[in-house]
Amino acid sequence: MRLSKGIRGTTFAAILAIALMAPAGASAVDIDPATTADEFNTNAAACSLREAVEAASTDSNTNADGCPAGSGKDFIHLRAGATYELSRPGFDGNNQAGDLDIRGDDLVIIAPQLGGATIDGNGATTGERAIEIINAAPAIDVLIDNINVVDGGGTGPAADNGGAIAINGVTNAHKVTLIDMAISGSRAIVGGGLSIAAQSTVELQDVTISG
């Protein structure tokens, strides 16, 4: 497990600009969740955060009928001051229930610098952590910026590691960058706030992790 702590200040704009660059040949899509409700393929008139993650991960909106299909490295933009509370109980790896399952493609999840946003894992209801970067090929880059993550962790498999965020790239070297975040009130046997599998890396820039 390798952890690195970034340096803030005059270099921030350059760091963020580099992190947000889509790879050559990719056509990134901006996905703007229109509702804070935890919907999944039930309302064609609105895109939820859960559906946005699925659309970005699969480059399809087959199971995210309110969102545009992703394409390569996508950008999910959360509303300033909004709280996105997860409420679908269960365990899977494709966003139908439990946590937000990131996989398949590089992804940026970002909120405005003024106001930020919050993802509430609501572990008592979902029985899950808040966010998981799935141990699946290919290895991906994920950036989460100006978003607080709270109240993740639950029972069963999700109780083992990463109550708020689990980077489960055991055989896939995922790279995750977290910027301007507070991770709090989450629980797990190992890494109540954050866990990182052996092959993956995480860079923290102005991140606080607390119980």
Q: Give all strands of the β-sheet with 100-102 in edge-to-edge order.
A: 100-102, 131-133, 165-167, 194-196
Highest mean pLDDT among 17-26, 128-137, 157-166: 128-137
Residue 88: which of 76, 98, 73 has the closest Cα? 98
State the DSSP string of 121-153. Answer: --HHHHSS-SEEE-S-SSP-EEEEESEEEES--
Look at residue 7 and tell me whether its pLDDT is greater than 50: no
CB 76 within 8 A of CB 53: yes
pLDDT attached to residue 15:
37
In terms of pLDDT, which residue wins out, 25 or 141? 141
* 3-state SS class at 191: coil
State the distance between the two ends of the chain, measured CA to CA, in whole angstroms. Answer: 22
159 versus 65: the higher-pLDDT residue is 65
pLDDT tens-digit profile of 173-192?
A: 999 999 999 999 999 888 88
Mean pLDDT rounded to a whole number for the chain: 87
56 closest CA partner among 41, 67, 65, 43 = 67
Q: What is the C-alpha separation between 7 and 23, in angstroms, rounded?
A: 24
